[in-house]
A and B are shown apart, each in its own frame.
Chain A
């Protein structure tokens, strides 16, 4: 795995270039956004002020023009509007374009107001005089009246000629007009006012026109439009920059997430590499341990087959047992780590339930019988003969539970039950339970029972041995198969371990004809069962009934003898080992009296070897081993029926008779060479030995072999290279090659099959496994 952390500090700054880039962008965009925001604020303010100003100026214009007509309070209103306009003007910025127009407007308005206000006074003065003229029409009024009329004409026409006319009129009639002074008015003042009106009325009307036509309005409108546009432009710019800034922030977030994703990937790769290294280490370790172990177990096994005295035999047996125990421990650890690292795959196949139990029986029956325990199998009738599941793993769990049960039970029985139950989702589940009469467990012990490396009590380790991994592995396996495992127990009264698994029905439709029970051949026949253990008696009776037999069960030899004397039985099933008595006693009695059931079958928990000492038993009777299975029982009965003699011997040995077979053993380790060679020779196989791949190729080329047993790890040329080379010439059928390896990791074995090996045999291998392989391929 190519995982390179960045150690070099110099590269560190460069490594963060995306972050540095986005942060620099952020600063640039951020300051830009601030500028844009301020620009927008200023533009907005200018626009609003410009609008305000425009509005106030139009109000001011109206108020100014109204001064001439409305009451004097308009002056104040006008003045206040002017004040307001001045205020706004001061607030405004960027008003250079307005400067001249505003100045000119301001001057015009001020000038107009000055003249208009005085003009008003003058007009009032004139109208006061007019009243006096009216009162004195007989004297100076007669001259004054026309003067006033002339003045009005001037004010409506605004004509210079008329103005001159007024002045001429005054010059001609001044003496008469001066008489107005007699009534309190001053002619000189009146003359001044008239002169003021004549001089300024035109100016005022000119100013009104001028105010109405001020360029300020157009300029101001233009200014407002412009500032409005500037505001919109500044707004757009600000929004653009803000959007970019937002995107930039998103980019920063993206950077954060990307960094985290990279870190996560990096650490997960590291963890993966570590796990890989660990499992590689385990594989190597297991290989290294298995190779010498193979020698120990193999040699012990071979040694046991040589003539030994009793003490030596005892030592060798213990040596073999110890070797096997060690192997179990190694297998446990390997399994556990495989499950932990999720490397263990569940491979469901169709399997026969009885075959599975038969295996369990093979593996644990002798141990149980040694301890004098009754091992009983109870399979519920509704359990199909063939199920779909991972039989190897189920067997492993079951074997573990049975092994424990046997280990922790000193007397009594171990019952293994298989029943069909309904799962949570209504699917078919099968419940395996192992019940013993052993030391039992307390509630506290149960709680930590399925944990790793724990046993119910650390003291049990000393007493019973074991890694403490068995139950942890069982639990993991059951969970891998979507099942549940639990335990019920009471200290001193025994325990019951159960696990239920959802198992499917057989995938392949059964080609073999299902044997229907009850069997017509056995239908109606009578059977006497002599069995002292109540459960075994019941189970056996049930099985026999299932087969169609009429069962009578008794638990003492005496009763059996009495019954058989009274009544004829077609079959008798006699337990060899009975308390206080021996099955042999009954047999002898029957032999003696000649009144006995037609067919007698002995069933026992003991190894058939036990009977070697009992003269003639083996030759005379069919012996079946406990615990019995339905088909076993059935076969035994049928054998009896078919065999006229009524006596047959179940062949114990399945010795290979292929004496002509020639095998090439490729193995560098001398001890292992010896072990394998010894085993093969015992099977009457001719063995050639090659020490490495090169020698193997040489030998294969010069001799004819039925089978090549190929070690993998060898000097000069390993098994893989050699196999690859051989496969260039020889096909899988013409030259079977079996990998002999201590490497039992699944991907490894798959690799061997890929490069053209026919099968593999894990080291240390046992005689039986080896013989199966030889039988199959040679």
Chain B
């Protein structure tokens, strides 16, 4: 009957309208599904949380993207070029090398445990990993490309095309790429460091010297900034808060570049000390190459304390207990 056909037609129009109304906005949320279980212990340092759930398909896609040079303009570098997850999550250079062999302005931070940082980049300009992904891709000194190019290149690649088609509701999109990389980065949690075993009750996990170092770490006030699950990474601090630092560190205005506030000059995100022994050279510009030196400088300019060589060695020993070999990544 005519009316039935008309009604079905109208119903189709309305339903089509319903689905069309979703097309305007991104159908793929960048929000990942990863969940963590935190274990709380007494004291300022906290063990790394366990991953209770992670979408492995997105994680694997993210890992592939992380290692893919298609994300750079000239197909020369990948995320992994500057963030070697098996070597502390950074590249070991003072500053990283991008496309066309151009060098960046800051030391590449570790990608390991980055999910627990309160903000990303040295100046904290990205509040989350998802926001952060965009930075290196667009940075002309790093990957120097844009999403249209990246998406076009990925679409042309059969492997990536199929991988995306399988799990993403709208194929290859900026959101899907970000979600995948973020999920992979969330999986990069470096469990198994001696300090974590110690915090979780294994009192033999640290050497005597390391225990001494831990006591000094707390007593001298290092923990004021370096605490929590990431032993840092959860607040901003001005380099040379107590004592003036050398000109070496004052060329970069830090967070001032983001907020424009006078009191944010020379303020940087306190870096996580996890795997610090593996991530030399140190500080935002990578101008200090040994832990010994770095501890000494920190004692002076942040704690206002001239640390004795013994103190420094104890602390250095402790910092080594923050390292864990990345397994399975």
> Is B229 at the interface (CB under 8 A from chain A)?
yes
Q: Which residues of chain B from 222 to 242 have a CB within 8 Å of any chain A CB?
A: 223-225, 227-229, 233-238, 241-242
Q: Which of A34, A75, A90 has the most CB of B within 10 A?
A: A75
CB < 8 Å: which of B11, B235, B267 contacts A117? Answer: B235
- Report whether B304 and A76 are in contact in the complex, using a CB–CB cutoff of 8 Å: no
Give 10 nearest A-B pairs by CB, closest first.
A79-B234, A76-B228, A30-B14, A121-B221, A72-B44, A117-B224, A86-B127, A79-B118, A34-B18, A192-B304
Residues of B within 8 A of A587 (CB): none
**CA gap between A259 and B7 in the complex, in Å:** 15
Q: Which residues of A lie under 8 Å from residue B242 when comparing CB positions?
A: 118, 121-122, 189, 192-193, 196
Quick check: is A110 within 8 A (CB to CB) of the other chain?
A: yes
Minimum Cβ distance to chain A for residue B17 (Å): 5
Report yes or no: A113 in contact with B14, Cβ–Cβ below 8 A.
Answer: no
Closest-by-CB residue of A relative to B299 is A189
Given contacts A72-B218, A72-B227, 16 further A-B contacts (CB under 8 A): A19-B6, A34-B14, A34-B21, A72-B224, A73-B44, A78-B234, A78-B235, A79-B233, A91-B31, A111-B263, A114-B241, A125-B303, A192-B242, A193-B304, A252-B3, A256-B3
Interface residue ranges of B89-107 to A (CB < 8 Å) = none
Chain A residues with Cβ below 8 Å from B31 are 91
Q: Are B128 and A90 in contact (CB under 8 A)?
A: yes
Interface 1/0s, chain A 246-273, versus B by CB < 8 A? 0000001001100100000000000000
When distances are taken between beta carbons in the complex, the residues of chain B under 8 Å from A153 are none
Q: Is B13 an interface residue (CB 8 A)?
A: yes
Which A residues touch B229, using CB under 8 A? 76
Contact string against A for B residues 119-159, beta-carbon threshold 8 Å, 1 for contact and 0 otherwise: 10000000110010000000000000000000000000000
A73 and B46 contact, Cβ closer than 8 Å, known pairs A86-B127, A118-B302, A192-B304 = yes
- How many angstroms from the CA of A614 to the CA of B3 in the assembled complex? 89
| B11-29 Cβ-contact flags toward A at 8 Å (1 or 0) | 1011001100100000000
Task: Report how far A367 CA is from B252 CA in the complex, Å.
Answer: 139
Q: Is the CB of A73 within 8 A of B228?
A: yes
Whether the pair A27, B228 counts as a contact (CB closer than 8 A) is no
Q: A315 contacts the other chain (Cβ, under 8 Å)?
A: no
B259 adjacent to chain A (CB < 8 Å): yes
Residue A521 at the B interface, CB < 8 A? no
Minimal Cβ-Cβ distance residue in B for A248: B10
Q: Mark A194-230, 1 if CB is under 8 A from B, else 0.
A: 0010000000000000000000000000000000000
CB of A186 closer than 8 Å to a CB of B: yes
Interface presence of A35 (CB below 8 A): yes
Shortest Cβ distance from A505 into chain B, in angstroms?
Answer: 57
Are B227's CB and A259's CB within 8 A? no
Instruction: Please give the number of chain A residues whose Cβ is less than 8 angstroms from any Cβ of chain B in the complex.
Output: 50
The main secondary structure of chain A at its interface with chain B is: helix
Q: Check: A31 CB closer than 8 A to any chain B CB.
A: yes
Which of A79, A82, A124, A192 touches B221 (beta carbons < 8 Å)? A124
> In the docked arrangement, what's the CA distance between A31 and B18, Å?
7
Residues 755-768 of chain A: 1 if any B CB is under 8 Å from the residue's CB, otherwise 0? 00000000000000
Chain B residues whose C-beta falls within 8 Å of the C-beta of A189 in the assembled complex: 242-243, 304-306
Choice from A23, A121, A184 contacting B303 with Cβ under 8 Å: A121
Considering only residues 56-115 of chain A, those with a C-beta below 8 Å from chain B are 71-73, 75-76, 78-80, 82-83, 86-87, 89-91, 107, 110-111, 113-114
Min CB–CB distance B224 → chain A (angstroms): 4
- Residue A321 lies at the interface, judged by CB distance under 8 Å to chain B: no
| Cross-chain contact B237 with A117 (CB below 8 angstroms) | yes
Query: B201 contacts the other chain (Cβ, under 8 Å)?
Result: no
Classify chain B's interface size: 35 or more
Q: Quick check: is A16 within 8 A (CB to CB) of the other chain?
A: yes
Please, which residues of chain B bring their CB within 8 A of the CB of A111?
Answer: 261, 263-264
Tell me which residues across on chain A come within 8 A of B328, comparing CB atoms: none
Report the bound CA distance from A376 to B86 in whole Å: 126
* Separation of A78 and B118 alpha carbons in the complex (Å): 10
Query: Cβ of B309 < 8 Å from any Cβ of A?
Result: no
Contact, CB under 8 Å: B128 / A118: no
Q: Is the CB–CB distance between B3 and A259 below 8 Å?
A: yes
Asked whether, in the complex, the Cβ of A87 is within 8 Å of the Cβ of B128, the reply is yes
* A652 CB, nearest partner CB in chain B, Å: 74
Known: A30-B17, A82-B118. A73 touches B43 (CB 8 A): yes
B118 to chain A minimum Cβ distance, whole angstroms, is 5
Complex A-B: 17 CB contacts under 8 Å: A19-B6, A23-B7, A23-B9, A26-B14, A30-B17, A31-B14, A31-B17, A75-B234, A76-B44, A76-B229, A79-B118, A80-B234, A82-B234, A107-B259, A111-B263, A118-B242, A125-B305
Contact between A90 and B127, CB atoms less than 8 A apart: yes
Cα(A117)–Cα(B303), bound, Å: 10
* Neighbouring A residues of B237 by C-beta, 8 Å: 114, 117-118
B10 CB to nearest chain A CB (Å) = 5
Partner of A30 from B13, B234, B235, B259 at Cβ < 8 Å: B13
A23–B267 Cα gap in the complex (Å)? 65
Q: Are B10 and A26 in contact (CB under 8 A)?
A: yes
Q: Contacts of A190 on B, CB cut-off 8 Å?
A: 304
Residue of B nearest to A83 (CB): B118
Q: What's the Cα separation between A102 and B225 when bound, in Å?
A: 24
Contact residues, B1-60 vs A (CB, 8 A): 1-3, 6-7, 9-11, 13-14, 17-18, 21, 31, 43-44, 46
Hey, which chain B residues are within 8 Å of A91, CB to CB?
Answer: 31
Let me know if B14 and A27 touch, CB within 8 A: yes
- Whole-angstrom distance between the Cβ of B223 and the nearest chain A Cβ: 5
A232 within 8 A of B: no
Q: How far is the CA of A33 from the CA of B10 in the complex (A)?
A: 13
Closest-by-CB residue of B relative to A71 is B44
With CB as the reference atom, state the residue of chain A lying closest to B14: A30
Q: Please, how many angstroms separate the alpha-carbon atoms of A75 and B235 in the complex?
A: 8
Q: CB of A120 within 8 A of chain B?
A: yes
Contacts of B219 in A (CB 8 A): 124
A38 within 8 A of B: yes
What 0/1 readout, one digit per residue, does chain B (292-317) give for beta carbons within 8 Å of chain A?
Answer: 00000000001111101000000000
What residues of chain B lie closer than 8 Å to A192, measured between beta carbons?
242-243, 304
Bound: A190/B119 CA distance, A? 33
Cα(A650)–Cα(B263), bound, Å: 149
A364 to B284, CA, bound (A): 133
Inter-chain contact B235/A38, CB cutoff 8 Å = no
Cα separation A259 to B3 with both chains bound (whole Å): 10
Query: Are A79 and B235 in touch, CB under 8 angstroms?
Result: yes
Give Cα A739–Cα B17 distance, bound, in whole angstroms. 77
In the complex the two chains form, what is the Cα distance from A87 to B220 in whole Å? 33
Contact A79 B21 (CB under 8 A): no
Contact status A72-B223, CB under 8 Å: yes
- Given A73-B44, A87-B128, A122-B242; A16-B2 close (CB under 8 Å): yes
Contact A27 B2 (CB under 8 A): no
The answer to whether A79 touches B127 (Cβ under 8 A) is no
- Residues from chain A with a CB closer than 8 A to the CB of B228 are 73, 75-76, 79-80
- The chain B residue sitting closest to A79, CB to CB, is B234
